[in-house]
Chain A
Amino acid sequence: MPLLKEGKVVEDLWTPLPEDAEPAPQGRIIVTLEQWQAGRERLRGHNGRLGLRLKSDQSPAQIVDDLHYFDLIALEFPRFGDGRAYSYARLLRERYSFTGELRAVGNVLRDQLLFMVRCGFDAFEVANENAAEAWRDAMAEISLWYQPTGRSGPSLGVLRRAALPSAR
């Protein structure tokens, strides 16, 4: 699947850890929460970087103390309407100070990219080959936001406060 970062299709340097991979391969691997919980001690010694993939019913709150082991967290969107990962993303960025790659995987649609960016995602697995162009169009659609979410520019409240003395 094409991977989008900063508006470009880039090569995906990460591979998911196969179910029965023994020993674990070298390099950058993404493990599931189950794999991590079952093989935590062994995986901590992994020679290479670690990523974690969470399903939409797996809150990062369950694994807060281990987050520092990971350079990437992939959050699943099993379908358009399942919006739990938006909250997880904000928690990761704003509460747990996660600074690694936050990747949206699963059913990731052009018309949701803006919401995802705003919540802190910075990488997107998309189905569409023309993803980069779609991304640029989608990102240009809305430039003003009412909510302070800690990502991507000031909210309208901040802009408005800045404009207040002259605007009123």
Chain B
Amino acid sequence: MYRYDEFDLAFVQQRVKQFRGQVERRLAGELSEDEFKPLRLMNGLYLQLHAYMLRVAVPYGTLSSHQMRKLASIARDYDRGYGHFTTRQNIQYNWPQLHDVPDILDELSSVEMHAIQTSGNCIRNVTADHFAGAAGDEIEDPRIYAEIIRQWSSLHPEFSFLPRKFKIAITGAPNDRAAVRFHDIGLQIRRNEAGEVGFEVIVGGGLGRTPVIGTTIRKFLPKQHLLSYLEAILRVYNQLGRRDNLFKARIKILVKQTGAEAFKDLVEDEWLHIKDGALTLPSEEIAHIEAYFAPPAFETLEANQPAFEARRFEDQEFARWVRSNVTPHKAPGYACVTISLKPEGGAPGDARAAQMEVVADLAERLSFDEIRVSHEQNLVLPHVRLSDLAEVWETLEADGLGTPNVGLVSDIIACPGLDYCNLANARSIPVAQRLTQRFSDLKRQHEIGDLKIKISGCINACGHHHVGHIGILGVDKKGEEFYQITLGGSADENAAVGKIIGPAFSYDDVVDAVDSIVTTYLELRRDGERFNDTLARLGQAPFKEKLYAAA
């Protein structure tokens, strides 16, 4: 894992002190709310529906047990005993008090964490594949480059007042677990014909009110040019992105209005000026960061662990958890464990302080001290020995963290919605809760298989509804909560935006509607066919017919 050196630490401490001064000036009346708002947002502090909300960055979703324990103690000491893990690999505290926030940031800096640029029109926390460093299909660990980008983008003097927020995601594997085609910039690590490693650069993807699949503007960018190329893209966007209309300010609109080819030309022209300048990454500098992400000292183990296999054979519940929550690891005898934060009836992504501590303890003992936050709002223990899986499962089970539903119909992404958010039109979490109750039969869930439901409480699409196999969007109809359903979205390497199936459903009816769609799928699917494949083969008609027949 990356560790702060003296410079990183001094930088973050200076930033905390600066923010403490800004809070003091606000409380002393030197700053009005209008003046303070952009300053607090630059440090992830919102005023939400009920209270202030602090969003803390978990850079590329990687945490140590030490850091997780600090997140737990902050939840307990300054909040209401829980935190909410988000789709951008961050954690949100829903009830901090303004005068406490500088102290919270001090505590975070003591474990090398911060809230810098978790909001505002700047480059946000860079996200990465949550299985980075563990996945067998990986070309290189994307976190090396995510960390390089984190440093370059922190308080970037030119790019702190962009037309709109700017999100970068990076994946090191061909199987995209970071949704790189739905970010302002997506980076996919590639190997060229000469065997060199570099990046495919994808620009202008995004969700929100205008979902767009990103366009590749460079098939291969050599590593040493990563930062100069990003700077070229950002400089073009900063100058030409629309500032007259909030809803047209994201880079995706600029790329669309300019045309992808013309946009690429603008970037490449700019890049030629700065290409071999001060931003060129010397290989020693990459190696310096890479060393922090060196693989842990895996033992040489047999790929086949008899005790594990025996337990799996004897214990159906354990076997079921392994099937959904455990994925292969690049090192023989190891596995990646995904800890579901989606228990039946729970709020997706929420974890109590005590649960965070259980995960921290497990990571420290059995996963080389590493934890990941996934953009699907779950936690990951990336490096667990197969022979330790049973112990991990039993410990998780005892604290409500053993739900065997990862990737299944109840592993729902949901934004905070009207229960917490100032912008929302409708609630999201209670819809997710009711769906997990409707689909509580685990046997049925495993029969249904891989099926992603994603729920947003407004058009800003924080719940990624556009890319759910089944997407649910909350809308306001004359003061009443209604839900529009889309089918066929996908966030992975088969990126697709879902299509609306028909008129929206009331809060009371939306769960039945989803159930009807799932039932229709089960009736129509061929052997092993996934939801989107069935939909592609038959179209929306059969789903629609069942769905609106009763109405």
Task: Establish whether A and B are touching in the complex (CB under 8 Å).
Answer: yes
Instruction: Give A residues with C-beta under 8 Å from B.
Output: 59, 80-84, 86-88, 90, 95, 109, 111-112, 114-116, 118-119, 137, 141-150, 155-157, 159-161, 163-164, 167-168
Across the interface, B239 reaches (CB within 8 A) one of A87, A109, A114, A148, namely: A87
Q: Interface-forming stretch among B8-16, B125-133, B345-353, B374-382?
A: B8-16
Min distance, Cβ B83 to any Cβ of chain A, angstroms? 28
Interface centre among A80, A111, A119, A142 (most CB of B within 10 A): A111
* CB-based contact B5/A167 at 8 Å: yes
Complex: how many Å from CA A107 to CA B22?
18
Q: Interface-forming stretch among B87-95, B148-156, B187-195, B528-536?
A: B148-156
| Interface of B (DSSP majority class) | helix
Q: Does B136 lie at the interface of the complex (its beta carbon under 8 Å from any beta carbon of A)?
A: no
Q: In chain A, what residue has the closest Cβ to B241?
A: A84
Complex: how many Å from CA A90 to CA B21?
28
Which B residues are CB-close (under 8 A) to A160? 5, 7, 288
In the assembled complex, 20 residue pairs joining A and B whose CB atoms fall closer than 8 Å, in A order, are A81-B161, A83-B158, A83-B159, A86-B159, A86-B160, A88-B239, A90-B158, A115-B155, A115-B161, A141-B14, A142-B14, A144-B7, A144-B10, A144-B11, A145-B157, A150-B278, A155-B278, A160-B7, A161-B282, A163-B6
Which B residues are CB-close (under 8 A) to A168? 288
Which B residues are CB-close (under 8 A) to A88? 239
Min distance, Cβ B541 to any Cβ of chain A, angstroms? 47
Q: In chain B, what residue has the closest Cβ to A146?
A: B151
Which A residues are CB-close (under 8 A) to B156? 146-147
* CB-based contact A81/B38 at 8 Å: yes
Given contacts A119-B157, A145-B155, A147-B156, contact A83 B14 (CB under 8 A): no
* CB-based contact A144/B158 at 8 Å: no
Min distance, Cβ A136 to any Cβ of chain B, angstroms? 13
Complex: how many Å from CA A88 to CA B238?
10
Q: In chain B, what residue has the closest Cβ to A164?
A: B288
Q: In chain A, what residue has the closest Cβ to B234?
A: A87
Instruction: Give B residues with C-beta under 8 Å from A.
Output: 5-8, 10-11, 14-15, 17-18, 21-22, 35, 38-39, 121, 151-152, 154-162, 235, 238-239, 243, 273, 277-279, 282, 284-285, 288
Given contacts A83-B161, A86-B157, A161-B285, contact A143 B243 (CB under 8 A): no
* CB-based contact B5/A118 at 8 Å: no
Which A residues are CB-close (under 8 A) to B38? 80-81
* CB-based contact A82/B243 at 8 Å: yes
Complex: how many Å from CA A150 to CA B17?
26
Which A residues are CB-close (under 8 A) to B39? 111
Which B residues are CB-close (under 8 A) to A111? 22, 39
Min distance, Cβ B12 to any Cβ of chain A, angstroms? 10
Q: A142-B155, A144-B10, A147-B156 are in contact. List 10 more A-B contacts (CB 8 A).
A: A82-B243, A111-B22, A112-B161, A137-B21, A141-B18, A141-B21, A157-B151, A159-B7, A164-B288, A167-B6
Min distance, Cβ B184 to any Cβ of chain A, angstroms? 16
Given contacts A87-B239, A141-B17, A143-B14, contact A80 B161 (CB under 8 A): yes
Q: In chain A, what residue has the closest Cβ to B10?
A: A144
* CB-based contact A156/B151 at 8 Å: yes
Which B residues are CB-close (under 8 A) to A115? 155, 157-158, 160-161
Q: In chain B, what residue has the closest Cβ to A160?
A: B7
Min distance, Cβ B3 to any Cβ of chain A, angstroms? 12
Given contacts A144-B14, A146-B151, A164-B288, contact A156 B157 (CB under 8 A): no
Across the interface, A142 reaches (CB within 8 A) one of B5, B15, B238, B288, namely: B15
Which A residues are CB-close (under 8 A) to B277? 148
Given contacts A144-B11, A146-B151, A161-B285, contact A84 B278 (CB under 8 A): no
* CB-based contact B158/A146 at 8 Å: no
* CB-based contact B35/A142 at 8 Å: no
Min distance, Cβ B236 to any Cβ of chain A, angstroms? 9
Which B residues are CB-close (under 8 A) to A118? 157
Min distance, Cβ B74 to any Cβ of chain A, angstroms? 24
Min distance, Cβ B279 to any Cβ of chain A, angstroms? 7
* CB-based contact A147/B152 at 8 Å: yes
Which B residues are CB-close (under 8 A) to A59? 239
Given contacts A142-B11, A146-B151, A161-B285, contact A86 B278 (CB under 8 A): no
Interface centre among A87, A90, A119 (most CB of B within 10 A): A87
Q: Which 4 A-B pairs have the closest CB atoms?
A: A83-B161, A118-B157, A148-B278, A115-B157
* CB-based contact B154/A86 at 8 Å: no
Which A residues are CB-close (under 8 A) to B239? 59, 84, 87-88
Which B residues are CB-close (under 8 A) to A155? 278
Which A residues are CB-close (under 8 A) to B243? 81-82, 84
Which A residues are CB-close (under 8 A) to B288? 160, 164, 168
Interface centre among A83, A86, A90, A145 (most CB of B within 10 A): A83
Q: In chain A, what residue has the closest Cβ to B7?
A: A156
Which B residues are CB-close (under 8 A) to A116? 157
Which A residues are CB-close (under 8 A) to B285? 157, 161
